[in-house]
Structure 1
């Protein structure tokens, strides 16, 4: 006997390359897994301890935020004011702001304080429909501090109805005291942090920021080689402010994703397509930084590069806590269709995390992470500006 049978619903399974719509559908759930999906008439003979009639609502996979920097201390609201006054990203960083200021505030906060602040952000994303949330480190900038943030990211999900996926953002920013010792700093990260994270098993992947104001392709490649040696997949912040050929580098190492990509060119897009690397689009950062150059969505479509969408929740350049607003922004700012944007926070986000075998679509054998939306059309998820969230959020088979 199944635990639950959801009936009287329209289902967007995101199986088979499209919406995968099932009208008058039903979903059988047992032991936190989906056991059957189909027409209500096809499942009529099966018994369940609980039958839930959804009144014709739409059901999608639970939303997946595949790129966040959720664990940090304090805010950077003062920098928001500076930016409104005309200061650039680079100017703010040069004045001691940016990532370095968050590093200081994060170091000064206790574990309890960081968990408390981060949990509020986590729960906001959950209310918006997220059932899986990636959380990067990156505000420690040394081995012990980065490992601390990875442990806190894992703790963040404990006792919450959400899956947290910790990512080691190993090369995020150069510490001010290491500006004249770049090679030494990169060696410390490559030789100490990567082996320690791998040994402790607390990172699902390794990420870096490849940019003129951050780390060079050569430095990132050293990191990627170390990650590969220790069996850790890689991801990359690439082509956000300039074209550093980061997407091509990511593709050479079969990266799960390359993220931002405003300055991506055709060579990079082709390389990503050949490698199966997902393009993660981050409209919150584009909006907050008031960028003018959009990611080349038509180029990504042309080469059939899967496009994911994420909040990029972080204190400086994307203080975004609404996954539905990210979907809307992907449509209105970047020109994605509602179907593409929703796929971007379900099946393609799962691909960007290497988890498409278990989440991201509604299919037998996958985890029963679902969102129930009381809307007439799925296009409303991309239409409403900041839709509060689903009417019902189901994680691991249970309402949450």
Structure 2
């Protein structure tokens, strides 16, 4: 049994709440890998008198962050496109010339397993220093059966070795690869008849994602992919309404998706559909900053009763950053999400977007003892000031997975 005391402010983020469950002058207790108590330190029960005691030094303690939308494994970079966009070239024009996603597909296909693994491990290490303890990881830069499977096998290995939990998602329906440019239907059949069954047979993914956009896949093509996913016991996710209103939010509600991600161009009808069906809206504010777009309308979604998560969209083109802290700060400054709403978006709501029902994203009794200690006295102080790496300690399953070396024990 272990007690972390001297917590300046504790955010418990109850799963079914709407606030961050903030407690000042708090303590947190865990046994093995699970939280057993959280509350004001003055009310710490006598049964913890003999527990190992640690000190947070007056700092903020939050649940381990959950990054519920990343493209973790890829090769190469898109620095040339960064410069082109600065000069005014639209993203879709770059993509039509064979850049964008397809450029990363070429680099990823050509990369060795060792190169892909080294890059993914480096990004996970950066996330750990941000307090991220659970990571959703998509494929989508292979677009062949062999390449999609090898990335998912890499994710399985990374998840088994830890320390972070990896939630794998198949995104074979990212774009149509060049070898199928004249046979879109053939590529959709490859996904539904070969890739999805192969992934399911090895238990390599929890979800199947589809990019529904004029430059990617139609709603009907997505329905075919989701039908195959459902037949093989896999959940649904969507890249929806990012560059235009394609009805992606309504489609997400129709197919019972766990989440609809991006939603920069979502309609009022789409917002109502998400709220009514309980589909989590995932905000990706780094991507909108990079692409110069207006971000997801978080206030409209929240006011309509929808659940809103916040993630990085880590990828080499439109969101080349693994900083979930940056995404949260942008959610506050650009989307008018309060610090409590933003934190919930990267904890309890992000866990909901991944259908994790074991308490992940919360510090309520019974939840995993995953948490981060930040060099700030409170949530408002942390998110009102942008700092690159404010985390002093990241704990996963009750054990320190990363620390700055700052004193955290009594």
TM norm structure 1 = 0.96
TM-superposed deviation, 1:282: 0.4
The residue aligned with 1:90 is 92
State the superposition RMSD in angstroms: 1.4
Q: How does 1:71-110 map to 2 (within 5 A)?
A: 71-110=73-112
What are the Cα deviations for residues 349-383 of structure 1, in whole angstroms up to 9, with x where unaligned? Answer: 11111114330111111110001122133113322
Tell me the residue number matched to 2:113.
Answer: 111
Determine if contact 1:381/1:387 at 8 Å carries over to the other structure. Answer: no
Runs of 5+ unmatched residues, structure 1: none
Post-superposition offset of 1:389? 3.0
CA contact (8 A) 2:312 2:324 kept: yes
Is residue 20–residue 343 contact of structure 2 (8 Å, CA) maintained in 1?
Answer: no
Contact conserved, 1:5 with 1:27, CA < 8 A, in 2?
Answer: yes
Offset at residue 270 of structure 1 (A): 1.0
- Distance (whole Å) between structure 1 residues aligned to residue 390 and residue 202 of structure 2: 36
Partner Cα distance (1:377, 1:259) in 2:
29
Q: Which residue does 1:33 correspond to in 2?
A: 34
After TM superposition, give the deviation of residue 182 of structure 1 in Å.
0.6
Aligned partner of 1:165 among 158, 164, 167: 167
Structure 1 residue 61 displacement after superposition? 0.4
The partner residue of 1:273 within 258, 272, 275 is 275
Q: 1:138 aligns with which of 132, 137, 140?
A: 140
Contact preservation (8 Å) 2:375, 2:390: no
The match for 2:3 is: 5
**Correspondence for 1:352:** 353
* Alpha-carbon distance in 2 for matches of 1:252, 1:282: 22
Q: Deviations over 1:274-313 (max 9, x none)?
A: 111000000111011111x332223202211111100100
TM-score by length of structure 2 reads: 0.94
Q: Which residue of 2 aligns with 1:324?
A: 325
Contact 1:57 1:373 in 2 (8 A): yes
Partner of 1:241: 243
Q: Name 1:379's counterpart in structure 2.
A: 380
**Residue 108 of structure 1: how far off its partner (Å):** 1.1
Unpaired runs of 5+ residues, structure 2, are 402-410
Shift of 1:49: 4.7
1:40–1:382 Cα change, 3 Å: closer
Residues 330-369 of structure 1: pairs in structure 2 closer than 5 A = 330-369=331-370
| 3-state DSSP of counterpart to 1:56 | coil
Divergent runs of 4+, >4 A: none
Quote the Cα distance in structure 1 between the aligned partners of 2:299 and 2:56. Answer: 37
Q: Does 1:252 align with 2:251?
A: no
TM-superposition CA deviations, 1:320-339 (whole Å, max 9, x none): 12111111111112221111
Worse-matched range after superposition: 242-251 or 24-33: 24-33
Given that residues 328 and 386 in structure 1 are in contact (C-alpha distance below 8 angstroms), is that contact kept between their aligned partners in structure 2? no
Alpha-carbon distance between aligned partners in 2 of 1:336 and 1:38, rounded to the nearest angstrom: 26
CA distance in 1, matches of 2:292, 2:124: 25
- State the alpha-carbon separation in 2 of the partners of residues 222 and 378 from structure 1: 44
Q: d(CA) in 1 for partners of 2:378 and 2:10?
A: 11
- Aligned counterparts of 2:35 and 2:379: Cα–Cα separation in 1: 22
